[in-house]
Structure 1
């Protein structure tokens, strides 16, 4: 049984101007376009197995975190288009050198005042040991990535 000190969760909400549907569509059906919106953070995204936007599909991300290139292979674990939600589990890559498990859940919803959306990132993870830091720099990366995607989406016609 894992120590509860090793299992944790980080969350961040990001306010964006784009609609929740467009943001969700970018991550589910067009993640290979994310590097166009944020080329300094994501160098590439390739479909390894399955289909874009389908549970069980495997995606490989090439990214930069803390100034170092990294690779993450993720499986789409869950998706709910009605809630603009997708959950991605890391199954291979650099992050697993520090974390026994890591799941990123992304959900977007419209703001009540109609002025855009909120994107919530939830990182649920288990550290390999006490000496490993919490993935706060990864959370900051995805917050910044969300802002880049918003800029990209709001510059494009609907």
Structure 2
């Protein structure tokens, strides 16, 4: 069994790719409002909301339990992708590395195809693949879509 790997999926949403990318790259503080059942809070630990390399602390619920993660963001404006690099927190108890990549691709008028990928390295072999985190980000993406459609 491999310790390193990735899990990924795609989600089609009725949110323009620029708008979806902008939420994650410049307005992450809106995510708890868009998905209050999943994300309790987020705050800037170092830097600001818009600068690559800024560090944020997220409080969220996964599998019915509260967790926290400190992450550093890497932005690719041209590609409309955001990479969140896990630095410390609950996930780091099972994974040596865990990075979430959200990549918004334009798809028709006012919609996009969001690729959600989690790259990870387990601390030991019997740790499960992080499918629960993949599902968490799929749910966040759908909640952002619903929040956008509400206006």
- For the superposition of Structure 1 and Structure 2, which TM-score range results when normalised by the shorter chain? over 0.9
Q: How does 1:39-118 map to 2 (within 5 A)?
A: 39-76=36-73, 78-111=74-107, 113-114=108-109, 116-118=111-113
Match of 2:17 in 1: 20
Which residue of the other structure, out of 117, 123, 128, is the alignment partner of 1:122?
Answer: 117
Q: What is the CA-CA distance between 1:143 and the residue it aligns to? A: 0.3
Q: What is the CA-CA distance between 1:80 and the residue it aligns to? A: 1.3
Q: What is the CA-CA distance between 1:53 and the residue it aligns to? A: 2.3
Please give the alpha-carbon distance, in whole angstroms, between the structure 1 residues aligned to 2:18 and 2:81: 10
Q: Verify: 1:8 aligned to 2:1, yes or no.
A: no
Q: Give aligned pairs, total.
A: 151
Match of 1:152 in 2: 147
Please give the alpha-carbon distance, in whole angstroms, between the structure 2 residues aligned to 1:45 and 1:115: 27
CA RMSD of aligned residues (A): 1.1
Per-residue Cα deviation, 1:10-52 (whole angstroms, up to 9, x for no partner): 1110100010011111111111110101000000010110021
Structure 1: runs of 5 or more not aligned: none
The alignment partner of 1:134 has SS state of coil
The alignment partner of 2:100 has SS state of strand
Runs of 4+ in 1 over 4 A off after TM superposition: none
